[in-house]
Amino acid sequence: MKNMSRNALNFLFGLILVSFVSINHASAADGKTVFKQNCAVCHALTDTKITGPGLKGVADRIPKGEWLFNWIKNNEKVIKSGDAYAAKILKENGNAAMTVFENLSDDEIKAVEAYILNPPVEVKPTAAANTAGGAENNEEEKGVNPLYIILAVMVILAILIGILRSVRLSLQNVTNAKEGQPEIEPASFTEESKNWLGNNRRFVAVCLIVLSCIGMKSCWNSLFRVGVYYDWQTGKGYHPEQPIKFSHKIHAGDNAIACQYCHNSVEKSRHAGIPTVNICMNCHKGIQEGAVTGTKEISKIYAAAGFDPKAGTYDVSKQNPIEWIKVHNLPDHVYFNHSQHVVVGKIECAQCHGNVKEMTTVEQKSPLTMKWCIECHRKTEVAMAGNAYYDRLHEALKEKYKKEHLNTFTVAQMGGIECAKCHY
C-alpha cells in the first residue's frame, strides 16, 4: 500500500515536473518572439552595442530580484525612483531612455526576461537541411549541367574517332602489305574531314537542315516561354534571383515581422514600396550573422549602407542602393492602389501575394490577369460595417438594391468592374 502511494506521489511529481519544463519551454519560445518584435532593434544578445547595450552576461551586471522585470515594464519609473544602477545605465547611454512597453502584459515581460537571462542555443541548419527545406523555391538547378554532358560526349566521340582512324589505317596497311602495295601515310584529321564531307555532300546537307530545324524550334520554345519556370502569359510562378538572398520565411514567418514594417507605404500609397537599406540596418546593425547564410548575405547589406560592422561607423561615399528585382508586375495601363485595398477594403496581403510567410524566395502566386481581378471583385463582399468611408455609399446601395433585400454588397455591385476604375 505504501509502495502504491509512493509510486502515485512519484508519478504526480514527475507530471508536475514535465508540466513545469513544458511551460518554461513555451515561455522561452514566447519570450524569443516578444524579444525579436520589441527589443532586437536596440539590443543584441551578444556584446555588440546597437542603440542600447549588448545583453550578454546581463544577469551578472544587474541587481538581483525583480529589477529586470521592473526595468522592462517601465524603466522611467525605475529611474525616477532614484535607483543607482538605473542612473548608471542612463548615463552610459547618453541619457537616452528606453521605450516604455505599456503594450506588454506581465506574462510577456516574464517570458522575455527568461529569454534574455537564458536564451536557448539555436542549432544552425545543415546544408542538407537547407536544401531539403527550400526545395520548392530553390533557384539552383539540381543534377549535372547538360552542357557538361554535351562536352563529355564530344570528347568521347573525338577519342573514338581517333581510335577508329588508327585501326582503319592499320588494317589498310596490313592489306596493302599482303598485296604488295605501298604503305599509306596517315593524313591529317583536317584533310580527312574535308575528303569525307566532299564525298558525302547529300548526307551532310540533310544533317544541316535537321540541325537547323531543331535549333530554330529550340529558339522558338525559349522565346515563346520566356523563363520556362513560370507562366509567360501571366507571370505566375515568377521568382527571380534577388541581389541579396532575403528569406521572407525567416523574417515574416519565423520572426513574425509585420509586412508593413518593411513595406511601410502600403497603407498610404498606391505602391507597397521597396524597403530602404536603412530599414534593414534597424535590425542588422546588431544582428550580424544569419541563421542560414551566416555573414555572407548580411555583408551585402553593410556594403550597400557603407557600414563598417567592426567600427560601427558609416561611410556615405561607399553607399549604394540595393537593386531589388520586382516580382509582381502590372501593365502600365493598369491602375492599382494598395492603400485602397489594404486600408479601406481590409484585404489581407496573402489574398493576392500568397502565403509569403512560407516563401524562402518570393514568387508570384496569383495570375494578376484582368479576369482574375474581375472575378475577385464579383465575389468579394465589401467590409462596410463600421467603416465610415462607406456610410453614405452603403445607404445608397441598400436603396438601389432594396427589391433584392441586400445588406451586403460586392465590389462589382458598387461599380468595381467599370472600365474606368482600373483604366484611365
Confidence tier at 300 by pLDDT (50, 70, 90): very high
Q: At what angle do helices 189-199 and 201-224 cross, to 10 degrees?
A: 90
- Higher-pLDDT residue of 216 and 386 is 216
pLDDT in tens, 45-84: 877 777 778 888 888 888 888 888 888 888 888 888 888 8
For residue 312, give the C-alpha cell. Answer: 560601427
Q: Which three cell numbers stand for residue 247?
A: 528569406
Q: What are the tens digits of pLDDT across the range 200-213?
A: 889 889 999 999 99
Whether residue 291 is predicted with pLDDT greater than 90 in this model: the reply is: no
Handedness of CA 347, 352, 356, 357 (dihedral sign): positive
User: How many percent of the chain have pLDDT more than 70?
Assistant: 84
Instruction: Decide which of 54 and 216 is more confident.
Output: 216
Report how far residue 220's alpha carbon sits from residue 357's, in angstroms, rounded to the nearest whole number.
Answer: 37
Q: What is the pLDDT of residue 135?
A: 42
C-alpha 379/C-alpha 411 separation (Å) is 8
Side chain identity at residue 63, one-letter code: P
Q: Report DSSP state, residue 362.
A: -
pLDDT score, position 233: 65
User: Which string of DSSP letters, residue by residue, matches 208-270?
Assistant: HHHHHHHHHHHHHHHHHTSSTTS-TTT-TT--PPPSS---HIIIIIIS---HHHHSTTTTTSS
Bridge partner residues of 237 (DSSP)? none
- Residues 6 or more apart whose CB falls under 8 angstroms from that of 251 comprise 257, 262
**Per the structure block, which three cell numbers stand in for 36?**
525579436
Specify the 3-state DSSP secondary structure of 7: helix
**For residue 416, pLDDT beyond 60:** yes
- Mean pLDDT of all residues in the chain? 80
- What is the crossing angle of helices 296-305 and 277-284, to 10°? 120
Q: Does residue 19 surpass a pLDDT of 70?
A: no
Percent of the chain scoring above 90 in pLDDT: 27
Element holding 314 (H helix, E strand): strand 313-314
384, 390 Cβ separation under 8 angstroms: yes
Report the C-alpha gap between 286 and 288 in whole angstroms.
6
The pLDDT value given to residue 317: 93
pLDDT score at 230: 60
Contact partners, residue 387, CB within 8 Å, separation at least 6: 344, 346
Smallest CA-to-CA distance from 100 within 119, 130, 80, 84 is with 80
**Distance (Å, whole) CA 416 – CA 406:** 17
pLDDT confidence band for 324 (50 / 70 / 90): very high
DSSP string, 95-133: T-PPPP-TTS-HHHHHHHHHHHHSPPPPPPPPHHHHHHH
Residue 323: all three cell numbers together: 537593386
Closest CA to 342 of 389, 309, 308: 389
Q: What local confidence, expressed as pLDDT, does residue 26 receive?
A: 40
Name, in order, each residue with C-beta under 8 angstroms of 186's C-beta and a sequence gap of 6 or more: 165, 169
How many CA atoms lie less than 13 Å away from 321 in the CB half-sphere?
A: 6
pLDDT number for residue 144? 64
User: Which fold is adopted by the domain 2-117?
Assistant: Cytochrome Bc1 Complex; Chain D, domain 2 (1.10.760)
- Claim: this prediction has a pTM higher than 0.85: no
State the CB neighbour count (10 A cutoff) for residue 181: 11
Cell (9 digits) for 283: 535590425
pLDDT at 355 over 70: yes
For residue 20, is pLDDT > 60? no
In single-letter form, the type of residue at position 116 comes to: I
Residue 389: predicted pLDDT = 78
Q: How confident is the model at residue 13 (pLDDT cuts 50, 70, 90)?
A: very low
Range with the lowest mean pLDDT among 76-90, 179-193, 226-240, 334-348?
Answer: 226-240
For residue 235, pLDDT beyond 80? no
**Per-residue pLDDT tens over the stretch 168-192:** 888 888 888 888 888 877 777 788 7
Mean pLDDT of 210-234: 71
For 144-148, 179-183, 213-217, 250-254, which range has the lowest pLDDT when averaged over its residues? 144-148
Q: Per-residue confidence at 141, pLDDT binned at 50, 70, 90? A: very low
Q: How large is the average pLDDT for residues 393-417? A: 85
* Average pLDDT, integer, range 17-35: 54
Taking residues 264-272, report their average pLDDT: 92
